[in-house]
Amino acid sequence: MKAKHFIISGAVILLAAIALFYFLFFEGTGRQVLAQVNGEILSVEEFNRELEKVESPLKEMFREEPQSFLESLIVKKLLLQAAKKEGLTIPVKTYKDTTKNSKSPEDILIEDLMKNKFPAPPAVTKEEVKTVYVQLKDQLGGKSLEEVSADIEQIIREGKRQNEMRQFMKELRGNAKIEIDQIRLQKISAKPPESNSEDDLKKALAAQKPFLVDFGANSCVPCRQMRPILKEIGKEYSGKTEVLVIDVYKYQNLAREYKIQLIPTLVFFDAKGKELFRHVGIMDKEKIVAKLKEIGMST
């Protein structure tokens, strides 16, 4: 009985030692495990390092919804693992690799893998070219099939190649052993920017001064590109105008009421709350300010 108790105690001590080692090695060094890809660790540090390479506003959007960016890193690890299984190795860095636009050794390795997996371009039939030509004929400015067949063939071939690659990556992902620490993923998630409410819009309509409403969404890249511009205008002309941001997914009733088809849509209202102008897409700060002054904003 004592021997059994000794064995159990020893096992508990061993597990505790393993847990302590895990904490000291990974947590203590800042290498917090975010995911494991076939046993290979993907840390929070690596996630943050790769995210820093992304330009704004995508960087902020990925920070708010990190799952999609994590998935891209997982697929990249799977591709690198597949390349190593194929016997491919990371190329040696040269002075040319120090230029700003040079590809990383990992990206070159993945390209080599894809060349090995898909050495021959996908076949394209004349019937496929003709079908696409008929579909796009009205947009081709009266050009004949002979004039555009080579371009159409290239487009179809590239589309097929992309589909083959996506299927290959999907199979890699499906056959892999992936473990994601969802709690840690949630902890590193940033809070998305708040939008204005329906009540804010009602107050603006009753405020008796011209104002602007940006109908957009946090998940829309052009919308996010507009946010700093709108924030500057709201701050610089505080008291003279209001600049609202309405999330069309959160307030779908307002999107329907104001007939929003595409985002971002900037809608300009005069002091009486009447819509005088709207613009779809990104708009320069100078043009926005000029339009606000045109509809009655005091200078």
Express each pLDDT in 57-106 by its tens digit: 999 999 999 999 999 999 999 999 999 999 998 777 665 555 555 788 99
CB 64 within 8 A of CB 221: no
CB 281 within 8 A of CB 222: yes
Q: Which residue has the higher pLDDT, 242 or 21?
A: 242
Instruction: Please tell me the least confidently modeled range out of 88-97, 167-176, 204-213, 231-240.
Output: 88-97
Instruction: Please tell me the least confidently modeled range out of 28-32, 102-106, 121-125.
Output: 28-32
Catalytic residue among 70, 220, 266, 292: 220
Q: What is the mean pLDDT of residues 138-161?
A: 94
Q: pLDDT tier at 175 (50, 70, 90 boundaries)?
A: very high
According to DSSP, the residues that pair with 35 across neighbouring strands are: 42, 180
Instruction: Please tell me the least confidently modeled range out of 25-34, 121-130, 154-163, 275-284.
Output: 25-34
* pLDDT given for residue 295 in this prediction: 95
**Domain regions of the chain by residue span:** 2-117, 198-294
Is the pLDDT score of 113 beyond 50? yes
Q: Give all strands (DSSP E) within 3-159, no chain letters.
A: 33-37, 40-43
CATH superfamily of 198-294: Glutaredoxin (3.40.30.10)
Active site residue 223: yes
* pLDDT given for residue 132 in this prediction: 96
Is the pLDDT score of 171 beyond 50? yes
Instruction: Please tell me the least confidently modeled range out of 15-19, 96-100, 182-186, 230-234.
Output: 15-19
* pLDDT given for residue 94 in this prediction: 64
Q: pLDDT tier at 29 (50, 70, 90 boundaries)?
A: very low
Q: Percent of the chain scored above 70 by pLDDT?
A: 87
pLDDT tens readout for residues 46-59: 999 999 999 999 99
User: How far, in Å, CA of 148 to CA of 128, rounded?
Assistant: 13
Q: In this structure, what are the phi and psi dihedrals at residue 128, rounded to the nearest 5 degrees? A: -65, -45
For 208, the 3-state DSSP assignment is: coil
According to DSSP, the residues that pair with 37 across neighbouring strands are: 40, 178
Is the pLDDT score of 195 beyond 90? yes
Catalytic residue among 223, 243, 245, 267: 223
* pLDDT given for residue 97 in this prediction: 56
